[in-house]
Amino acid sequence: MTPEAIRIVSQLRREFYSLFAAAMEVPVNITNGSSSTGNPPMASWIDDQQRLNYLRIYVHTAPDQLIPERPFILRLSLNKGGGVATATKWRRDHQGLNQDWYFELTLLPEEILDFLPWLVSLVKSHDQGSALFAQEPPHPFYLKISDEPLSNDSWTQKAHQESRNGEFSLI
């Protein structure tokens, strides 16, 4: 990644995790992981069923010295992916990882902060056991014909379009 992309993603993580922790109204632990070691920072919390949940923001694609025109696309994942060993050490009084649901959203850096209230509502909806979540996202999703109204793996329209531009067919 370019130094500018590294700076942007670090800043977005700090800001998003801090705002997420404040909006969740439950204790949220934010780790100081290192992206260079493959263990990026994450936010984790215990839900009403005493299960550990975690949120990670990581880079899907980014410009670098070899391909400076590569699109800069992020992924926001809930309860998906590795690297949760640090989070599980945070609290011993939980009933294990929340493996009942996950969500992953691929989006552009300029879209991520707009999704904060929407994501908090999604998490709280699942924590309350609601099967349906009908709140409109702040940026439209790219949906395939076969997708359900809200797939667990979603892309914003802009991120999907950006990934399709030029020779960078990523999905």
Residue 127 belongs to some domain of the structure: yes
Percentage of the residues of the chain whose pLDDT score is greater than 70 = 78
Residue 78 belongs to some domain of the structure: yes
Residue 128 belongs to some domain of the structure: yes
Under 8 Å between Cβ of 52 and 44: yes
pLDDT tens-digit profile of 151-164? 688 999 999 999 99
Residue 33 belongs to some domain of the structure: yes
pLDDT at 171 over 50: no
**Domain count within the chain:** 1
pLDDT tens-digit profile of 97-143? 777 788 999 999 999 999 999 999 999 988 887 766 768 999 999 97
DSSP the chain: --HHHHHHHHHHHHHHHHHHHHHH-S-EEE---BGGGTB--EEEEE-TTS-EEEEEEEEEE---SS-TTS--EEEEEES-SS--HHHHHH-SSS-SB--S--EEEEE-GGGGGGGHHHHHHHHHHHHTT-S---PPPSSPEE--TTS-SS-SEEEEHHHHHHHHSTT----
pLDDT at 86 over 70: no
Residue 44 belongs to some domain of the structure: yes
Give residue 28's domain range: 3-164
Copy the structure tokens of residue 90.
Answer: 């945070």
Residue 126 belongs to some domain of the structure: yes
